[in-house]
Amino acid sequence: MQAIYQWQMTGIDSRGLENQFAEDGTLDKADRPFFNEAVRQITLNTPEFDTLIEPLLDRKLSSLDRVELAILRLGAFELKNRLDVPYRVVIDEYIELAKTFGAEQSHKYVNGVLDRLAGEIRAVEVQARKQV
């Protein structure tokens, strides 16, 4: 989340982010392949992820807090591309990030947006969970 936030604020390219976070030790215990894939995909394909998110918002994308935007972009990336991770796990991960780094009630907003997004792009999985 911090890398995507930094990219949003500075425009540094994905290679620069990967190098910086590797050099400062931030990635020592992280899942590097996931980090690299997420950073590359989000920085290179931002419009794709924003198109998924924007219809679910109650305001313009440009009005979102930058932390919330980073979290929502990551959530959209993971819901769309990491089908090996259950959608509830994805949503819970990003709710926790919003609680830690976001504004006071941003976790509720993140939950609502990602829950609706999961219903759209993982409809079969969401429906199966509801029938259990």
Amino acid at 98: A
pLDDT at 78: 97
Q: Is the pLDDT of residue 30 over 90?
A: no
Structural domain containing residue 25 = 2-130
Q: How confident is the model at residue 26 (pLDDT cuts 50, 70, 90)?
A: confident
Share of the chain above pLDDT 70, in %: 99
pLDDT at 132: 66
Closest CA to 1 of 82, 66, 88: 66
Mean pLDDT of the chain: 93
Tens-digit pLDDT profile for residues 55-65: 999 999 999 99
Whole-angstrom distance, CA of residue 73 vs CA of residue 25: 24
CA dist list (Å): 1 to 6, 60, 126, 131: 9, 21, 25, 33
- What is the token pair recorded at 49? 């992820």
Q: Which CATH number covers residue 103?
A: 1.10.940.10
Domain count, the chain: 1
Judge whether 118 and 79 are in contact, CB under 8 Å: yes
